[in-house]
Amino acid sequence: MTSPRIVVTGAKDGKSVVVSDGSATTIDIPLMPGSAYVPVWGADETPVVPDSAQAVQPRTYFPPAGGFRFCFFTLGPATAALPADFDPAAAAAQVQQDIPGLLDVFEPDNPGMHTSDTVDVDFVLSGEVDVELDDGVEVHLKAGDVLVQNGTGTPGGTSPTSPACWSSPSPAPAAAENRRRGSRASPPWACG
């Protein structure tokens, strides 16, 4: 995915102004060939508007209570292969450095699954994605489709033939004390 242009407005002297105008950063995900993460905007607390809208890079992938995230994910095609010299430990360390907190929630006994305290509304911008649910049902999504993840489990998604791009807003955690007891949501590159 090409990094999108991000134009941010804020308030100055009671008027709306452009605070910044530039490109987002695209972060490759070495654990998934052809996949990338593009953080667009986020905060660790509830925003008060209007404000100066100074960009602050959140410290972790998942927002704390009152925070939010908005990002894009590109999911590489199912045919993409890991390089011959692939080092899983180095790839995991790179993801942990680039997207802090993402790997902390993955279930080691269920590859691709992670526990999330958020309700994600994921919009497929381009391509197609197959998402398998816990009960074995597979849902085929294409550009224009929306998947709402209510803390439900999916072992992930695959893009059948070409890269697929998701828009993934992630609001603050919902009922975190209940979600941590076993509700599962799909990996962010497959559904937020």
- Taking residue 25's Cβ as centre, other Cβ atoms within 10 Å add up to 13
pLDDT in tens, 133-167: 777 788 888 989 998 877 766 555 666 666 778 77
Range of the domain at 114: 5-191
Instruction: For residue 127, give the nearest of 144, 109, 108 by alpha carbon.
Output: 144
> What's the pLDDT at 75?
83
Residue 53, domain CATH: 2.60.120.10
Structure tokens at 39: 């953080």
| pTM metric for this prediction | 0.78
> Phi and psi at residue 29, in whole multiples of 5°?
-110, 100
Q: Comparing 187 with 81, which gets the higher pLDDT? A: 81
- Provide the number of structural domains found in the chain: 1
